[in-house]
Chains A and B, each alone.
Chain A
Amino acid sequence: MRLRNLMTGTALAALVATGAAAEIKIGASLPLTGAFSIAGAKHQQGYELCVDLINDRGGILGEQVDLIVSDNRSDPATAINQYERFINVDQVDAVFGTFSSRLSFPVASILAKNNYVHPVPAGGALRIYTQGHQNLFYFQPDAAEYVGSSLTTMIGDLLPEGERPATAAVVAADDFFANAVEAGFLGTQVIDPADGSVVEDMAPGYLAEAGIEVVFSQKWPEEGFNDWLTLANSIKRSEAELIIALTASAEEAVQITRALQTVRAEPMMVYYSQGTQAEFHEGTGDASEAILMHTSWHPAAPYMGQLAGEDFSNRDFVDAYQAAYGAAPDEDAAIPFAVCQGIEQAIIGAGSTDNAAMGAWLYARTADDPVRTILGRFNWDERGLPLGKPFLIAQWNGGELQFVYPTDEFPDVSALNHPKKGF
């Protein structure tokens, strides 16, 4: 009898405790192992830091946030299964998006079917936003297909005619994101894989528009490719003045840089789609000097966001990240932090975790009344792509990732280091 009473009392106590600690559950499936593990681990840090700071400030609408993170091993099928589990088993109130177009594309259908707001930290391929989903919100400046315009515009704006590259070699990973960026540079059609329809014709391509002739173009397979020296040798033999390497990961950026260094390639300009991470510089050393890349975030950007209803600047984020992890953040941690800020503001704006209301609130944002994050202000078009946000062009100089373009975005702009002097 006493035992039964004890058990009943314990159960009641547990129920009371559960009721007292009302919480908002948020699920995030991330590639913590596998090809995207470097970025995935930093996404986890960005999400966790944001949630910890929110909870320290009293939570959202008075409720603590419980973040559930699962490792999808960089595998699309696993990512789908995990989001279905978040929704059907864990019954999360909201989700944070995953890393990379390859994983975000299949996940988008699941989240749309279940009417969950889908904040996308990394999934720039245009095809994701042309499926007719009404729940997508991209937290980077623009679709990957349009990235190339930032580089060619920069070349036109900053370099006198005689100093501009006239020829280009474009090499790319056979990856969802890299293919998307390549389509913009080369002017190919973006095809919807579901029905073969043309999503957008990027012709003539940003390079052709800028008068830069493509003298070499090649892809390497998504996984298992090791023959970087043969690829670098081919690039060198093309004598291209501009090398555009569209890698799917920072690891690939390290590999191709070391190979180009070994073959002593001497282009006047080098541009990558990945490589803003400290690991890129660690793996390449001085060879990274003057390499350009686009980025969605820079530590010097004086953006003012919001967290827990209060101002929270980009500088605050850098300091908080440094304190939490003992290292300087990069965009792979900053972007998910901004996603978390966006979802927090959506819940507050909607007054609940009703995803329909959250989505409506996010769609209602305007340039004057945007979501405020450490990546700047966000409001979106009907596809879920941000409006009026330029990509930033950064360049490694002296071991530091410097912001070089656009020059009118904010004050701390560095001079473009041009031409590149070997690797």
Chain B
Amino acid sequence: MAAIIQIVVLGLALGGVYALMGSGLSLIFGVMRIVNLAHPALIMSGAYVAYWGFRLWGLDPFVMLPVAMVILAATGVLLYKLVFEREAKSARYSEMTVLLTFAVAMVLEGALATAFTNTQRVTSPGYATDAFFIGSVFIPKGQLYAGITSLVIIGLLALFLKFSRFGYAIRATTQNREAAELLGVNVNLVGLVSFAIGVALAGAAGSLVSFVFSFFPSKHWEWIAVLMSLVVLGGMGSILGTVVAAYLLSVVAAFVGFFFGATWSTLTFYLALFVVLLVRPQGLFGEKPELA
């Protein structure tokens, strides 16, 4: 029984980190219809902010987290203005954003490699490799703290979306961009702010990732498939769905890894992606696409 509890604990611990990693991606798709393949590279950028804060000044990644969010939010504004805004009215906007964000990911990877080399990095605060032990069951402190922080940030985002005036505008734009615009919502500003928030979430996720996983500039390619599977399972654009999917898939992957071997645990995410697209393309919480 302890073994089963342990697997669930490890799955939930990893799920908390994935939830924040995927939620920014989901927000940006929900509002902007941008399939942001650069999201993991932006997470990587946040990880470097936390790493250098820790390395140079001994600042804890949790202290660097707001710093990373601000820096990444500014990066998001810049990216939106330079890359996405002028294409926003294109009929093939979503398709174009796949290529655009792919290019952004390549540029970011090159910039990070030039600035910080391809050496792997990891932030090492004491809790990152420590654990609470309850009997024979352990709870990894680093992932626990990261998971709690993820939930707090996602909770604050949910409150902002649900109760603030601007949150209404974002949700309205997510549901129907044209109708929101007709009702006086400044959809361009909503797009800009949503993109900046989504990228800021990448910064926050990066700070947490910096002590959970080791990372180097090209590592982001390994994350995109996992994050896409979370967003697709949760329902494209549904942050709640992404969070549920992150916990669900991480726990399932932990069980698969324990009983069938580590080789198969990663397959869980890809398998989920295939099955969801075949059986329920709208995901757990997404809206069923209307037939033309």
> In the complex, are the beta carbons of A258 and B266 less than 8 A apart?
no
Query: How far does the Cβ of A274 sit from chain B's closest Cβ, in whole Å?
Result: 11
Interface presence of A114 (CB below 8 A) = no
A127-135, A227-235, A396-404 - interface stretch: A227-235
> In the complex, are the beta carbons of B226 and A224 less than 8 A apart?
yes
> In the complex, are the beta carbons of A287 and B129 less than 8 A apart?
yes
Q: Which of chain A's residues have a CB closer than 8 A to the CB of B109?
A: 33
Query: How far does the Cβ of A419 sit from chain B's closest Cβ, in whole Å?
Result: 20
Residue of B nearest to A263 (CB): B138
> In the complex, are the beta carbons of A226 and B218 less than 8 A apart?
no
Interface presence of B131 (CB below 8 A) = yes
B79-126 interface with A by 8 A CB criterion: 109, 113, 117-122, 124
- The answer for the CA separation of A414 and B122 in the assembled complex, in Å, is 30
Interface presence of B290 (CB below 8 A) = no
Q: Which of chain B's residues have a CB closer than 8 A to the CB of A219?
A: 261-263
- The answer for the CA separation of A218 and B260 in the assembled complex, in Å, is 9
A254 with B120: in contact, given A38-B216, A221-B266, A225-B262 (CB under 8 Å)? yes
> In the complex, are the beta carbons of A251 and B225 less than 8 A apart?
no
Residue of B nearest to A261 (CB): B129
Interface presence of B282 (CB below 8 A) = no
B2-10, B160-168, B192-200 - interface stretch: B2-10
Within 8 Å by CB of B118, from A41, A221, A255, lies A41
A33 with B214: in contact, given A226-B226, A230-B262 (CB under 8 Å)? no
- The answer for the CA separation of A32 and B216 in the assembled complex, in Å, is 12
A33 with B217: in contact, given A226-B226, A230-B257 (CB under 8 Å)? yes
Interface presence of B170 (CB below 8 A) = no
A41 with B117: in contact, given A229-B13, A255-B213, A283-B124 (CB under 8 Å)? yes
> In the complex, are the beta carbons of A258 and B122 less than 8 A apart?
yes
Q: Which of chain A's residues have a CB closer than 8 A to the CB of B65?
A: none
Query: How far does the Cβ of A329 sit from chain B's closest Cβ, in whole Å?
Result: 14
- The answer for the CA separation of A32 and B117 in the assembled complex, in Å, is 10
- Chain A contact-residue range equals 35 or more
A229 with B10: in contact, given A251-B120, A279-B119, A283-B120 (CB under 8 Å)? yes
Interface presence of A239 (CB below 8 A) = no
Interface presence of B142 (CB below 8 A) = yes
Most buried by B among A34, A174, A261: A34
Query: How far does the Cβ of A261 sit from chain B's closest Cβ, in whole Å?
Result: 4
Interface presence of A35 (CB below 8 A) = yes
A257-295 interface with B by 8 A CB criterion: 258, 261-264, 279, 283, 285, 287
Most buried by B among A218, A220, A227, A261: A227
> In the complex, are the beta carbons of A33 and B218 less than 8 A apart?
yes
- The answer for the CA separation of A224 and B129 in the assembled complex, in Å, is 21
Interface presence of A250 (CB below 8 A) = yes
Residue of A nearest to B110 (CB): A33
- The answer for the CA separation of A250 and B214 in the assembled complex, in Å, is 10
- The answer for the CA separation of A127 and B35 in the assembled complex, in Å, is 42
Q: Which of chain A's residues have a CB closer than 8 A to the CB of B218?
A: 33-35, 37, 73-74
Query: How far does the Cβ of B259 sit from chain A's closest Cβ, in whole Å?
Result: 10
> In the complex, are the beta carbons of A220 and B263 less than 8 A apart?
yes
- The answer for the CA separation of A231 and B130 in the assembled complex, in Å, is 16
Q: List 5 A-B contacts (CB under 8 A).
A: A33-B218, A219-B262, A221-B267, A225-B262, A263-B131
Which 8 interchain pairs have the tightest Cβ spacing?
Answer: A37-B118, A220-B262, A251-B120, A261-B129, A230-B257, A224-B222, A33-B218, A221-B266
